[in-house]
Amino acid sequence: MAVYTQLSANTLAQLIAQYDVGALVFAKGIAEGISNSNWLVETTGRAGKSARFILTMYERRIALDDLPFFLDLLDHLAAHDCPVPRTIHDRDGASYRMLDSKAVALIEFLPGISVDEPTPAQARNVGAVLARMHEAAKGFGSTRANDLGPEVSARVLAECGEAALSQINPALPALIDHAQRIADGWPMGLPSSVIHSDLFPDNVLMLDDEVSGLIDFYFACTDAMAYDLAVTHAAWAFSADGARYYSDVGSALVEGYESVRPLTAEERSAMPLLAQGASMRFISSRAFDWLDTPADAMVTRKDPMDFVRRLEFYRRQGQTAFA
């Protein structure tokens, strides 16, 4: 259950009263998510029409100084007709409030569900919406560096060490050098914007084949737009374990993206390496979390080999993966 801090009904009601959204009707903890506490909130709304919101308490992994970037980005994208939830500002105009020592924000609730097995039609729409988001974000006035770039992946794997990595899987130690080669050869100067950088299917809400919401922008940063497409390709076009590649889904994702924003020749040439870097990011983070999580913890550790299989696919296929 992703509610790490319990809030009483009275505390929740007092908190909601700081917003012009009506009185609290109910609040229910949301199981999804691993870093923050989340509640689905319903209020009486305005003019007798009930309204729903997501209340988030930021528990870990998000620096307080970064919150204005994330929350202002939502408002900017929503104002440019991107399907993202607006930040609800309190009666003083603030995008977040402090509750004891933790920040909380109220976010617009969007309808839709996250799909487990995307269809080509769904992937095509995701690609188009991702490109629209990139174009809209070019006008956003703030920047944030990517703190999970290829050099970080290489360092994390090296710090895990060969002995520890081999305990997860004997194939992992060999990736330490490969991660460094990816970082050393990383393409620079590609067209950039603010990117989502974590657009897995569970961060997209859909109504049938149409995207109704992009959510969870807490890894957003300023970086190459093609890298964001590569992350999304790795997240959408494979089975969960990375053993099967769905070419129709992968092709539809790229087609949808290019229907809005065609890739440059430099971006297309870089895609195989960008996708390897995207895979290595999740290999390194999963390996670190695997080693950092006690075996008896009530948390399901994610297998880094799921993305090793993706990495090997991109190494083998090269440009044909994006044809």
The whole-angstrom distance between residue 222's C-alpha and the CA centroid of its chain comes to 14
pLDDT of res. 231: 98
Q: CATH 3.90.1200.10 residue ranges in the chain?
A: 120-322
The β-bridge partners of 115 are: none
**pTM for the model:** 0.93
The model's pLDDT over 185-222, given as tens digits with 9 standing for 90+, comes to 999 999 999 999 999 999 999 999 999 999 999 999 99
DSSP label of 302: P
The model's pLDDT over 120-172, given as tens digits with 9 standing for 90+, comes to 999 999 999 999 999 999 999 999 999 999 999 999 999 999 999 999 999 99
Q: What is the Cα–Cα distance from 134 to 130, expressed in whole angstroms?
A: 6
Radius of gyration of the chain (CA): 20
The one-letter amino acid at 222: T
DSSP, collapsed to helix, strand or coil, labels residue 47 as coil
Chain mean pLDDT for the chain: 94
Query: For residue 198, what are its two tokens?
Result: 């974590």
The model's pLDDT over 267-296, given as tens digits with 9 standing for 90+, comes to 999 999 999 999 999 999 999 999 987 766
Q: CATH 3.30.200.20 residue ranges in the chain?
A: 9-108
Q: What is the Cα–Cα distance from 313 to 322, expressed in whole angstroms?
A: 12
Q: Per CATH, is 120-322 categorized as 2.40.50.100?
A: no
Q: What is the CATH number of domain 9-108?
A: 3.30.200.20
Which are the contacts of 300, defined by CB distance < 8 A and separation ≥ 6? none
Q: What is the Cα–Cα distance from 18 to 43, expressed in whole angstroms?
A: 12
For residues 249-270, give the mean pLDDT.
Answer: 98
